[in-house]
Amino acid sequence: FHGHLPIDFSCLPWLEILSIGLNHFKWLIPQTLSHCHHRQVLFAEKNEFYRSIPEFLGSLLELKRINLYGNRLTGTIPITFVNLSKLEFLNICQNHMHRNIPSELGSLTHVTLFSVEMNNLTGTLPESLFNISTLQTLSFMTNELTGHLPKDVGRFLPNLQFLAMCDNNFDGPFPPSYSNATSLQTISEGRNKFSGPIPLQLGSLTQLKHFYLEHNAT
């Protein structure tokens, strides 16, 4: 399918799942979606939606899964996402989002996947994101993020399996607290500016299968 999404969603208030991925829909994410207060799933990946992610998505309080990767979306990550207390899956990678990641998103305590990779995000990582104990996948790779990693990274992430931060501008030491994330299978932190020794404590990550640190200052 291609062109605009012609449906008037205000006539479908009980719609729970909308999956329109891998099409060629263009223009904006329809404003009439704001009437679908029972929406639990929004999959609109690999289309040609552009401009910003609409703030009204944060008013759809039943939303559990949002997948918008591979569009042409710009602007900032909506602060209204903080209202989505049931959210489990947030994928907005491969867009053109910019500015910082809102620290308030650390209150989304049911999220298992948080992926903002391949955007134009800047600033430092909010420490609050590393307190979401349900996280299994966390990806910030290929942005313009900077600064040191939080010293307690990994301390409150017992379920984290995949962590990707490569292709940014992170610097400073590699935190020993990674060793607390005992479910980690993949750490990808190449092409940054990390320095100093690799902590011996990482030897306790017995589930680790892939460890990428290429092109750093270590």
Pick the CATH number of 2-212 from 3.40.190.10, 3.80.10.10, 3.40.50.720, 3.40.50.620: 3.80.10.10
pLDDT at 218: 56
Nearest to 29 by CA among 78, 79, 100, 88: 78
Q: Does 115 or 50 have the greater pLDDT score?
A: 115
- Percent share of the chain, pLDDT over 90: 85
Q: Which residues contact 78 (CB under 8 A, 6 or more apart)?
A: 52, 53, 54, 55, 57, 58
Domain ranges of the chain: 2-212
Structure tokens at 116: 């903002």
**Residues 53, 92: contact at Cβ < 8 Å?**
yes
**Residues 30, 6: contact at Cβ < 8 Å?**
no
Task: Look at residue 204 and tell me whether its pLDDT is greater than 90.
Answer: yes
**Residues 136, 113: contact at Cβ < 8 Å?**
yes
pTM (predicted TM-score): 0.94
pLDDT tens string 75-132: 999 999 999 999 999 999 999 999 999 999 999 999 999 999 999 999 999 999 999 9
